[in-house]
A and B are shown apart, each in its own frame.
Chain A
Amino acid sequence: MDEHLKTELRKQGIVATTLQELYNWGRKNSLWPLNFGLACCAIEMIAASMARYDMARFGAEVFRPSPRQADLMIVAGTVTKKMAPQVVRLYNQMAEPKYVISMGACAISGGPFKQGYNVLKGIDRYIPVDVYIPGCPPRPEALIDALMTLQKLIDKQSLTGADRPRHLQAEAPSEFIVPRFGAHDLEPPQNPEVWDAPLVNISLAGTDDAGKH
């Protein structure tokens, strides 16, 4: 429908909408997060849901204790390798449509513990992440910003057509490989279907001034 005509009608007190807009409007304003915190970022997440920052304004205050009832997984904190299988399994148990916010440096890349032997270097190695929030930890405002970004993403999703989101495509997977806690590392160390390893070519030739001083 023509946007101009829609605004004209709106001025006359007539609301014209489509099924898709109605569907997305309903979904984006009732994002129920999974009650699930891993580390210090969870404290900021709790603060965001409390009265001062009040995530209820965005319809996202109903933290569900069961993945069956949740739409949004906020990976708030350091994902240890011991915990990663549980995180992925919880994501698998959530009903579609489901979204993931990767909150904080640890959930994105391992953060300050990236060099640690026991820390997963980013939850996006196993599950598809929709919004990343940098910070250590990000403030509640950052989480609210991420939520609004996710709402904008949901608003743009189309109901039909080839570019429709994953949950509307019958052949697209809803479950991802749950890694096993192996003897040395998680097996597999990443899910290649989800994670594209960034091609980084760090060359220190010529610019490496180590040892000169």
Chain B
Amino acid sequence: MRKVPQIVRLALFPQVLASIGRAEREEFIAEALATLVACDTPVSRWERLKNHLRFWPHRLNVQQHQTQLIATIFPHWAGLTGEQRAVVLGRPAWQLKAALESELKTEPLAVARWLEAHPIERLADVAGQLLILPDRDASRLAARALLHMVVRALGIQPSPVFGEVIPDREEPGEEALSAVTQGEVIANIRDGLAQFGQHQQRDVILAAFILADSLESPGSAALGLPELLAEEGHPVQAGMRAALRRSHAPFMRSRAWRWMKCEHVGSAALERVGRGHGALEHELVLSAGHLLLHPARRAALLGLKVGSKSGPAGPVPSEGGALPSPAELDSLSQVSRRWVGEMADAMQVDRGVRGVLRASMLSDRASWVRHAYARSADPVEQADFVFDADARVARTACLGRSAAGARIWSRWPMRSSDWQRARLAGKLTRSAHAAVRSIARQDAARMNPWMVDLPESRLAAREWLASDRAGFLGALRERLHGEVGRDRVDAIRLARILRLTVGIEPELLELAVGEDARVAATAVAALGDLGSDSARAGIDRSLRAEDDRVRANAVEAGVRSAPRAEHAGALLDVRMYGVMIELKGDPHHRVRANALRGLIEHTGVDRAGAVIDSAGVDGLREMLEDDRSMHRLAGLWLAERTLSGPGRARAGACYDWMCRRVAGIATRDGDEMVRTRAVRCARRLLAGMRGESGAGRARAAA
């Protein structure tokens, strides 16, 4: 026998294996498998010719005979050793498939058993054929094989999530499957679903649920579920409902949660969502809690009733229900805990249970959960959250109570609740979180109309003025008569910003001669806005004040409020001109600078633009050459404001000298403050020159 050619043995072994007794079976199977493998090795040309002549004129198909031999071996599968099985399983999938298909008609149950034990994805077509056979056992085994093939094809690892559907012994396929093979498996599942009425195998539905997360998922589209569900009374609808109701696998609750808004399976899905066994099932649903935001899902949940039982802190959800019990709640992830409260709001839950759940959410260890509920908490609870240790929670709660974006927030005069807000905002300005401090400062300013430096405060003042003018003016006057100098100064500044100085003229006149020099100086500056005779008289009085600041402001205010008149080449009236001439030699630098500015800016110019009266420009030259550093400093301030732009023409022939002087001070002056100021002044003058030359070039080019 050993000398018999392999090809002859290959042709004879199928017949032998079909008719031998049990005693010889092992020996012959071993020899047959050896022959099977040996026929794969290429033979020499001479041997090939001899084989050809042996069977001439027939053309022996070696692969077909190998397939036939494998098909003969399948019924003896139980008696094969591990190595022998490995030899068969190592054959090409097409060969196995052909062998199985040849055995399908004679031994369907054996083929189904083999497939269930060896769910090779490339044999999905065979399983598909077995599925619709009338033999219930073969059909059941084929459905199970298809389920395993899906698991292997998609590389799904065994997990508690799948429960008994994918047992732990399941090993995913080692080799990377091509998309074509995966497509074959999916196509067979799709056919199995379409023919569900014929076989009624639940494993096919489970495989479909593994593939299809939801009705809109790509898996669902690949299986053609939307079409099957749209078909009126298709058996697969009943199958899906039954699978959702009866399956205890945790992942089915997740699928039920996603499929809930599909009307054909909605009732069964809702029923499954209402049953949550163990923390894992709750985790799977609550981790996708955002789906609750879909109106259809929320509407469906309204019909779900959740049982409760009494706990130490009050009524709590009972085990096995739609909501996690306190013990299960502790083991959930923070993402899932975040949705428990909102889920409870959407269901028929006892009010006490809802309160207990909300309380546990608000005191949750994860800041993310607290953050979610801090936003939806009532105002009293929000006030507590602004002191949260987590900056994000505190900031959100603070923003929730903030006036940011609110047009009118406070009512004037403020009520007790507003005062409470103001007090809280004051406390929060000392919060540990920078964001909270920033928001609280803005809120505090929104509640206080007298913080004139802050825009929020000015907005509050405007709102108060718009809503109650008389009340605001009364409060303003009261503040002007206050004792704190700073408050009075801010009140005057606010009145100027809001253009309310006309309404408080008597108070301003009174304050302009007051003892507090700073208040008086501010009041005099405000009098300059009025332009009335009484205000001018007040300014005149202040021109002779002892305090330098008051005098300086009076000069500035006087220039602003003086009536404009063409006289002696100046735009100032005679009286004010005289005052300016007198004060340009004032010992205080600010007074002197303001007087010179008035002279330079409010003096008439000739056709060339140069000042007719050179008193102002001469005074500026003197200031720049003054021995006193503060006078030089004030001179530089004046030069910066009057020599740039049109001031160049006003200075006329002196302009170049002044520029050189400023440059000289910037490089050689002994006082650092003066030098710095001179540099700034020089930079501004230079920028003005460049701007003019650039504009000149543009004009020339045009």
Chain A bound to chain B: no
* A contact set with B: CB distance below 8 Å: none
